Chains A and B, each alone.
Chain A
Amino acid sequence: MTATPARVILICSGKGGVGKTTLTANLGIALARLGETTVVLDADFGLRNLDLLLGLENRIVYNAQDVLEETCRLEQALVKHKQEPNLSLLPAGNARMLDWLTSDDMKKIVGMVAERANFVLIDCPAGIETGFRNAAAAAREAIVITTPEMAAVRDADRVIGLLNTQGVAPVQMVLNRVRPKMVANQEMLGVNDVTDILALPLLGLVLEDEQVITSTNRGEPLTLNGSLSPAGRAYMNVARRLRGEEVPLIDPSRERRGLRARLMGKIRRTTGLF
């Protein structure tokens, strides 16, 4: 049990496929590595795959449904991560839970989990129906994740409106899958275009990174590695900012130049020519 009340954070987007579960998994690992006791809760009962991304699929014995039905204790249902003992996962029950789960059930379970953690991350289902509403009812703050696409931004805007009416605050934003080259050529919405519409504090900026796909397939979130890829660094920074650290945001245009400059620097150093 911890002294300070846990921070219960909803991770949602409205639109599907923008990176809710990936963010939840990576943020969970990152917070755990920073020494925070963290529980990630899969609220996507219909299409659960947070366990998959964390590589814990084959370790699940009990789930949230069993806890609610009191067929097991909460400790039995929580799956501890194999490398990061600070992180545990409360798996979603089967899809039939959708039929009977109420927001009170959700509050009950989050309340139980919150007693034994510093951070509770709720992986929200896509959409704005009951699944989202139940999850939002149990959360205190939220991170809205979106990509620089009109459809994703529009849906995120809708979700922010709903979160405001439900009294969830603060709501922060993570912008995912930014492609600096396309932004520079004005083929993609820029960071300013998105913050302009959503008017939320930017908690993080994640560049498009192919390693996310391989890490997802392997069930090893990027933040697990010691040497971090660009996206992994970005997730780590999100975790730091969540804890109140001041970490400057990366500048996507500088990031691109930075790559070339780094390369030139390497050549300069190794050849000693210039």
Chain B
Amino acid sequence: MAAALSIASDPHQPHLLTLPPPQEASSLLQEVRQALSLGAIQGSLNLICGDWRLRLPDLEALQSLLTQQGLTLVQLQADHPETRVAAASLGLHLGPNTGELQHPPKAAPTIPALTVHQGTLRSGEHLQADGSLLVLGDVNPGAQISAVGHVLVWGRLRGVAHAGRLGDDQATIVALQMRPLQLRIAGAVARGPDEVPAAGLCEEARLENGEIRIDPASPRWPLQGMPTQGLNVGSSPSAQ
């Protein structure tokens, strides 16, 4: 078992690096190097040490390794008292003991909140959401919407829509009338279809084998299971 790295979707949030139990692991630096080799990430990092017994030199070596990678160690969660003392002497923020910590579910990525925008987005307006985005209105040609999760347009989509802005290739774009200039899902880009779709046909775009496909929308609401609390209703987009 190797160290598990979970990359934060929000650039302001720290990434999480969880070390395996010490008896199953080789050395600290090797574990960390291995975990970081999976993807180039930058920003701040929280380290969850569990039962590891790390002394001041260990932590200093770890810090210099992370700095080389462009990461800053900001918080440490450790159960071993020696590790906690060493971390405190380095000025690191100490999180609660792992025992008290609720592990973030590893399989299900953190469920993003839903942003609801009411009103038509006009040419030149650009709306970005950190979670999924629901527009109650039209997206006119020249307007742009993007979301980390799904993009849903309860109206006509005639501008540019980007779902899965940070690389979520399961994100979908749903619109009551799909006439976009351009669609983007994760890293894929597609021009909108040339023919005008039949009125009243709700369509859905998704990524399949690296290509964006438009099909009649599935009756399954893509936001199923999403918590409704934290619903955040905005009425004026950040016009740029």
Contacts and interface: CB of A to CB of B under 8 A. Distances in A.
9 contacts: A154-B123, A155-B123, A157-B124, A157-B140, A158-B122, A158-B142, A161-B122, A165-B239, A199-B120
B141 interface: yes
Contacts of A197: 140-141, 158
B142 to A, nearest CB: 5
A5 B138 CA distance: 35
A106 interface: no
A126 B9 CA distance: 42
Contacts of B121: 161
Nearest to B125: A161
Contacts of A161: 121-125, 239
Q: Which 6 A-B pairs have the closest CB atoms?
A: A161-B122, A157-B123, A158-B124, A158-B123, A157-B122, A154-B123
A160 interface: yes
Interface string A160-201: 111011000000000000000000000000000000010100
Interface in B115-172: 120-125, 138, 140-142, 158
Interface in B53-79: none
Main secondary structure of the interface of B (DSSP, over half): loop
B236 interface: yes
Nearest to A197: B140
Interface in A241-268: none
Given A160-B122, A164-B122, A199-B120, 14 more contacts: A154-B142, A157-B123, A157-B141, A158-B122, A158-B123, A158-B124, A158-B142, A161-B121, A161-B122, A161-B124, A161-B125, A165-B239, A197-B140, A197-B141
Contacts of B236: 165
Contacts of B239: 161-162, 165
Pick from B120, B122, B125, B158 the residue with the most CB of A within 10 Å.
Answer: B122
Given A161-B239, A165-B236, A165-B239, A154 B141 contact: yes
Nearest to B138: A199
Interface in A137-161: 154-155, 157-158, 160-161
